[in-house]
Chain A
Amino acid sequence: MAVPRIGVFICHCGTNIGGIVDVPQVVEYAKSLPYVAHAEANMYTCSEEGISSIKHAIKEYDLNRVVVASCTPRTHQPLFRNACADAGLNPYLFEFVNIREHCSWIHMQNRREATEKAKELVKMGVAKARWLDAQEEFESDVYPAAMVIGGGVAGMSAALNLANQGFEVHLVEKEPELGGRLLKLNRIFTINKDPRELVESIVKAVAGHSKIRLHMPAVVKAASGYIGNFDISVDEGGKEVSFKVGVIIVATGAQVLKPELYRYGELANVLTQLDLEQRLKDDKLGEFQNVVMINCVGARIPERPYCSRVCCMTAIKNAALMKEINPEAKVYVLYRDLMTYGVEFEEYYREAKGAGVRFIRYTPSNPPQVIGTEKVESVRVYDELMGMELELPCDLLVLATPLISNNDSEELSKMLKVPIGDGGFFLEAHIKLRPVEFAMDGIYVAGSCRWPADIRESIAQGYAAASEAAIPLRQGLVKVEAITATVDPKICKGCGTCALVCPFDAIELKESEIRGLEGKIVSEVNTALCKGCGLCAAACPNGAVQQRGFTDMQLLSMVNALSGKR
Chain B
Amino acid sequence: MQDNKEVKTEFKPKILAFCCNWCAYAGADLAGVSRFQMPTDVRVIRVMCSGRVPPELIIRALANGLDGVMILGCHPGECHYSEGNYLTRRRAHVLKRLLSYIGIEPDRFQLGWVSAAEGAKFAAVVKETTDKITALGPNRWVDKK
Q: Which residues of A contact B (CB under 8 A)?
A: 72-74, 98, 100-102, 105-110, 113-114, 116-117, 120-121, 124, 224, 410, 413-414, 417-422, 427, 439-440, 483, 501, 503-504, 531-535, 537-539, 547, 550, 552, 555-556, 558-560, 562-565
Contact = CB atoms under 8 A, between A and B. Distances in A.
Contacts of B28: 101-102
A499 to B, nearest CB: 14
B25 A556 contact: no
B29 A563 contact: no
Most buried by B among A74, A108, A117, A538: A538
B66 A73 contact: no
A537 to B, nearest CB: 6
Contact of A533 (B34, B46, B49, B61): B49
B115 A547 contact: no
Given A106-B123, A421-B33, A538 B44 contact: no
B66 A563 contact: yes
Contacts of A483: 48
Contacts of B16: 559, 562
A563 B25 CA distance: 21
Given A102-B28, A113-B40, A563-B14, A417 B22 contact: yes
Contacts of A74: 21, 25-26, 29
A558 B74 CA distance: 22
A426 B57 CA distance: 36
Contact of B64 (A121, A501, A565): A565
A538 B61 contact: no
Contacts of B117: 410, 413-414, 419-420
Contacts of A121: 43
Given A410-B117, A414-B117, A531-B81, A421 B51 contact: no
Most buried by B among A108, A413, A501, A503: A503
A550 to B, nearest CB: 6
B48 A547 contact: yes
Ranked 7 nearest A-B pairs via Cβ: A101-B32, A534-B52, A563-B64, A533-B81, A113-B40, A105-B32, A533-B49
A538 B52 contact: yes
16 contacts: A98-B29, A105-B33, A106-B31, A106-B37, A413-B117, A414-B75, A414-B117, A427-B33, A483-B48, A501-B87, A533-B52, A538-B51, A547-B48, A550-B48, A552-B57, A563-B66
B111 to A, nearest CB: 14
Contacts of B53: 538, 555
Contact of A559 (B34, B37, B44, B61): B61
A290 to B, nearest CB: 44
Contacts of A114: 40
Given A73-B46, A421-B30, A537 B52 contact: yes
A98 B44 contact: yes
Contacts of B36: 106
Contacts of B66: 559, 562-563
A108 B65 CA distance: 28
A539 B26 contact: no
Contacts of A105: 32-33, 35
Interface residues on B, range: 35 or more
A413 B116 contact: yes
Contacts of B78: 414, 417
B13 interface: no
Contacts, number: 150
Nearest to B64: A563
Contacts of B52: 533-535, 537-538, 547, 550
Given A98-B44, A100-B32, A102-B44, A534 B116 contact: no
Contact of A117 (B29, B31, B40): B40
Nearest to B75: A414
Contacts of A565: 64
B127 to A, nearest CB: 11
B60 interface: yes
B69 to A, nearest CB: 9
Contact of A534 (B34, B37, B44, B51): B51
A422 to B, nearest CB: 7
Contacts of B7: none
B51 A535 contact: yes
A518 to B, nearest CB: 31
B45 interface: yes
B2 interface: no
B125 interface: no
B33 A417 contact: no
A224 B87 contact: no
B116 A418 contact: yes
A107 B64 contact: no
B43 A117 contact: yes
A223 to B, nearest CB: 12
B115 A414 contact: yes
A101 B29 contact: yes
Given A114-B40, A483-B48, A562-B16, A535 B87 contact: yes
Contact of A417 (B29, B34, B116): B116
B23 interface: yes
A102 B51 CA distance: 22
B140 interface: no
B81 A535 contact: yes
Contacts of B38: 106-107
B83 interface: yes
A560 B66 CA distance: 10
A89 to B, nearest CB: 21
A431 B21 CA distance: 20
A124 B45 contact: yes
A534 B14 contact: no
Contacts of A501: 51, 87
A237 B46 CA distance: 41
A106 B43 CA distance: 12
